[in-house]
Amino acid sequence: MPVEYEMPELAESVIEGEIVKWLVKEGEHVKQDQPFVEVMTDKVTVEVPSPYEGILLKQVAKEGEVVPIGKPIAIFGKEGETLDDHTAAAPAQAKREEPAVKAEPSKTEPAKPVKAQEASSSKGTTGAGNGQAGAIAASESAVLGPGGRPLAAPAIRKFAREKGVDLNRVRGSGEGGRIRREDVERVAAAGGAAPARGPETARPSVPARVLPPPTGETERVPLRGLRRVIADHMVHSKHTAAHTLHVDEADVTELVAMRARAKEAAAERGIKLTYLPFFVKAACAALKRHPFMNASLDDEKHEIILKKDYNIGIAANTDAGLVVPVIHQADHKTIFELAHEIAELAEKARAGKLSHEEITGGTFTITNVGSVGGLFTFPVINWPEVGILGTHSIQPRPVVRDGQIVIRQMTYLSISFDHRVVDGAIAAQFVKDVAAALAAPDVMLMEG
C-alpha cells in the first residue's frame, strides 16, 4: 500500500521546512537512503534520504513551498502501485481509526464551554468567573515564526491538538515567545480550547500595512528561502536585543607588514591569507577579558549565560543571502588553521552545502565589510548572541604620532551590542582591546 512521507524534524526546535528542489521526478524509482529532495531549514539546505525503496508516486509539496513538520510532502509506493491505490486506502484507514477517536473524545475533540463550567463548579468557582478566564485565554496571541505559524516544537503542537487548544491563542513563555507545555495547560485550564474553525470563528488576522500603488515598471520577487529566514531572524533580533553602537579605530600598520611577510609561506601551503584570521584571533583574546561579550540572555529564567567556548561566526554573503558559518574553538587554532577553515566554510556557504553543525553554536560574530567599502557599519546582532564586531577597509591615513603627522594603515572597528547585557564601558574597552591586539600582532600571537 502506498505510504505518505511527512516533513521530518531535521533539527531541534525546527517547525517547518521549505522544499528547495526535488532530486527525483514523479514515477522514478528510488533506492533506500537515496537523497530525493532538498529541504532548507534554519539556513541549511539538507538532502533528505528516502526511507523507502520503490516509486515516488507524487510530489505532494511544490518547490518553494513551506511545509510544517509532520505534513506530507511525498507519496511512495512499490512497483506496480499507483496513486489510485493510495486514494482507495485512505477511507479504509480513516474508518479503522474512527473507533479509537470516539473512545477518547477528550483528546481529539475541542473542549466545550459547558465542560469548562462543570470543571469550574467542581472547584467551587462560578460559571461567570470561568467565562472571564476563557475570555482572557482567547485574548492571548502567539508569537509567530517563519510562515506565520506559532513558535512551538512538534511535541507541543501534538499536545495542543490533544487538549483542543488553538496555538494561535497561546502566549508563549519560552525564549523568544516559544510556546511550552505549561502554556498550553494554562490556556486549556482557563477554557481557552479551540472552537471549530469556520468563517465565523476563524482567528482574525492582523491587517498587513497596505503598500501604495507602485508607479512605473516593477518586478515582484517572492520572499522565500534563505531571504525569508534572514528577514525573520533580523526582525526578531531587532525586536529582542537593545541594539547599541560603538565605533573606534585601529592602527594596523604592523599587521599589514606581518601579513605581507607571511603571504608567501601561506600560499606554499595552499592558503590564501587575508586579514580576517587576525581579526578572529584578536576578538578571541578580547572576549576572554570581557566574558559578558561572549554571552547570551535567557529571558525566561532572567539569567545571563557566560559561554566558556569561543565559537566565532563569520558573516558570509552568498547569492542566496547572508549566512553565518561558525569556527568552533577558534581560540585554539593558529592563523593558518583559521585561514584554511574560513576559506573552506565560505566555499560551502556559496555552494549551499553547510551542515547544521557548521552554522550553530556560535558565541560571537564578526562581519567584514572591508571589501565593500564605506566608513563603518551598524550590524544587526546575530541573536541570541549579545555582540557583533564590524571590521572595515584598511586605508593609509595621516595621523599624529609623537607630535608628527605620519601616514599609517588605519581601519575602523564597530561593535553592535545588546545593552541589556553589556554596558557601554565594557563594549568600548572590548573594541579598544581588539584594536590593541591588531596594532601589535606579534605580541598577540605570543600570548596565544
List residues with catalytic annotation. Answer: 419
**Among candidate residues 19, 52, 57, 56, the one with its CA nearest the CA of residue 38:** 19
Nearest-CA neighbor of 39 among 55, 3, 15?
15
Instruction: Report the alpha-carbon distance of residue 112 to residue 370 in Å, rounded.
Output: 62
Q: CA separation (Å) from 169 to 67, 172, 177, 222, 236? A: 21, 10, 12, 28, 20
How far apart are the C-alpha atoms of 179 and 11, rounded to whole Å?
17
Q: Are 254 and 437 in contact (CB under 8 A)?
A: no
Q: Give the three-class secondary structure for 226.
A: helix
Residue 51 grid cell: 526511507
**Cβ(45)–Cβ(352) under 8 Å?**
yes
Q: Which residues, in sequence order, are bridge partners of residue 54?
A: 30
- Please, what sign has the CA dihedral across residues 346, 348, 352, 353? negative
Q: At which residue does the C-alpha cell 581560540 appear?
A: 331
Task: List the beta bridge partners of residue 305.
Answer: 296
Q: List the helix and strand counts (H, then E) for the chain.
A: 12, 19
